[in-house]
Amino acid sequence: MKALLVGVTTKYDRYDIEYSLDELENLANSLDIEIVGKISQQLDSPNPATYVGKGKIQEILLNIVGSNADMVIFNDELSPAQLRNISDELKIEVLDRSYLILKIFELRAQSRESKLEIKLAKDMYLLPRIQYLREKESRIGGGASTATRGAGETQRELDRRHLMSEINHLRDELIAVKKMKENQIEKRKRNEIPIVALVGYTNAGKSTTMNSILEYTKKNETDETKDVYAKDQLFSTLFTYNRKITYNKVNFMLVDTIGFVSKLPHNLVNSFYNTLQEIKNADFIIHVVDTSTNYLNQQINVVMEVLHSIGASHIPQIFLLNKWDKTISEYIDTPGYKSIRYSNKTKQNIDLLLNTILEEISPSFISARLLIPYNKGDLANLIEEKCQISKRNYESNGTYYEVEIPKKIYPLLSEYDLDTLVS
Ligand SMILES: Nc1nc2c(ncn2[C@@H]2O[C@H](COP(=O)(O)OP(=O)(O)OP(=O)(O)O)[C@@H](O)[C@H]2O)c(=O)[nH]1
Ligand SMILES: [Mg+2]
């Protein structure tokens, strides 16, 4: 299938149109659609009737002929009216960005919950557009529908009713599935195991990083280290996956999440954000960045915006500068955030990454019972000065303390920690 891409740019846009259309091209390519041309128009705002201006429609028509395109894909979600008007003018298939994303999600969905969520989002999107989009269902990604455009009023009404009853059904099923999941999250919270979330733009390498950490921290062959799915495609991961990691005796839950992209379909936003609730529960965020792309800054911005919109921007964060084996920049500026140069190919700095995680999730004070020999007056002074002392006993072989020690100075005292001494 060959498609023309059409985008409108306004002065309020955050990303330049070139980037935005490249992103759209990537989405289309994931559905085996070949792009044969890109057209853009600068407007104050998209035209409510036809998205682009009237004259531009003529230019698109000429381009369709010239490029042999068999569909036109618009860079924003078209309203049902826009979709109708444009379809009438262009007389070939018209799709929009939202439809592509929904379609990709639908093809990738694996779990029962993700299938339900995406079906619901897609049905909600289709409901007001059914008469113009059912036909396309059968052309991209192998949908099952046989409806044709211009089907009679009765057929249209039947389609609509069918969709509505399906939507109600899906909602009920989802409520049941969600209840089960909430219970699980509750349980985990009560266990108080710290949560570390891998977040980032789609295809940045989150799932691969999860697998590298699983492999690296695996002690013996019998450990349960079930890999998560990672692949060179957009949206390999839908929803979240959790794996318990133990490193240097510290446990934490590592959470792999769905990749971000700009301009997500409205209908997907709800289901998508539900899956991101787990990020809000995180104690620490590893922001995985693909350093091999030309669009590094735009991708970072997309991720920061989503984090902000789900109320997760206050959570401590580190930038994992991934794919450093093929980075195109020597230096990447991440103002205000720590960053680690990393690669899943070479595993460079994986130990630094894990140590940083431990540092972030471990409490800032360590409770300990110490026995400080009388000849270590300097250490006794340090304790008196820096630690919160809840008990102090002078015993025959030294001073016994029960204290809260600031994490930073614990290494100076660990030698005298009664609970770690080898007997
Ligand atoms: N060269 C190189 N490739 C990498 C590295 N890390 C990941 N990749 C590749 O990048 C592609 C995407 O990796 P994933 O781990 O699936 O990416 P993701 O962020 O989970 O993507 P989504 O789940 O689709 O959002 C895969 O083909 C990986 O093999 C790396 O450090 N270097
Ligand atoms: Mg993934």
Does residue 320 lie within any of the structural domains?
Answer: yes
Q: How many CA atoms lie within 13 A of 92 on its CB side?
A: 18
Question: Within this chain, do residues 55 and 116 fall inside the same structural domain, yes or no?
Answer: no
Question: Within this chain, do residues 243 and 201 fall inside the same structural domain, yes or no?
Answer: yes
Question: Within this chain, do residues 379 and 328 fall inside the same structural domain, yes or no?
Answer: no
- The predicted pLDDT at position 141 comes to 58
Does residue 421 lie within any of the structural domains?
Answer: no
Host domain of residue 41? 1-108
Does residue 69 lie within any of the structural domains?
Answer: yes
Digit-coded pLDDT (tens) for 294-311: 889 989 988 998 888 888
Question: Within this chain, do residues 197 and 306 fall inside the same structural domain, yes or no?
Answer: yes
Question: Of 137, 166, 190, which one is at a domain's C-terminal end?
Answer: 190
CATH number at residue 49: 3.40.50.11060
- The predicted pLDDT at position 365 comes to 77
Q: For residue 123, give both structure tokens.
A: 């049905």
What strands, in cross-sheet order, belong to the sheet with 284-290? 241-247, 250-256, 195-200, 284-290, 317-322, 338-341
Residue nearest to atom 4 of ligand 1 (CA): 323
What distance in angstroms lies between residue 194's CA and the mean position of ligand 2's atoms? 21
Residue nearest to atom 21 of ligand 1 (CA): 203
Would the pTM count as exceeding 0.85? no
Digit-coded pLDDT (tens) for 344-378: 999 999 999 999 999 888 777 788 899 999 999 99
Residues of the chain with pLDDT under 70: 134-153, 182-192, 219-226, 233, 237-239, 266-267, 269-275, 421-423
Residue nearest to atom 3 of ligand 1 (CA): 323
Does residue 423 lie within any of the structural domains?
Answer: no
Question: Within this chain, do residues 39 and 186 fall inside the same structural domain, yes or no?
Answer: no
| Measured distance CA(97)–CA(259) in Å, rounded | 16
Cα 312 off chain centre by: 12
- The predicted pLDDT at position 185 comes to 61
- The predicted pLDDT at position 221 comes to 55
Question: Within this chain, do residues 230 and 339 fall inside the same structural domain, yes or no?
Answer: yes
Torsion angle defined by CA atoms of residues 137, 141, 142 and 143, in that order, rounded to the nearest 10 degrees: -30
395 Rama class: left (phi>0) / alpha (psi -120 to 50) / beta:
beta
Does residue 96 lie within any of the structural domains?
Answer: yes
**Ligand 1 atom closest to Cα of 210?**
15
Residue nearest to atom 14 of ligand 1 (CA): 205
Question: Within this chain, do residues 267 and 198 fall inside the same structural domain, yes or no?
Answer: yes
Torsion angle defined by CA atoms of residues 409, 413, 414 and 419, in that order, rounded to the nearest 10 degrees: -120
CA distances from 412 to 52, 232, 244, 308 (A): 68, 46, 30, 39
For ligand 1, whether the C-beta of 206 sits within 6 Å is yes
**Ligand 1 atom closest to Cα of 232?**
27
- The predicted pLDDT at position 220 comes to 56
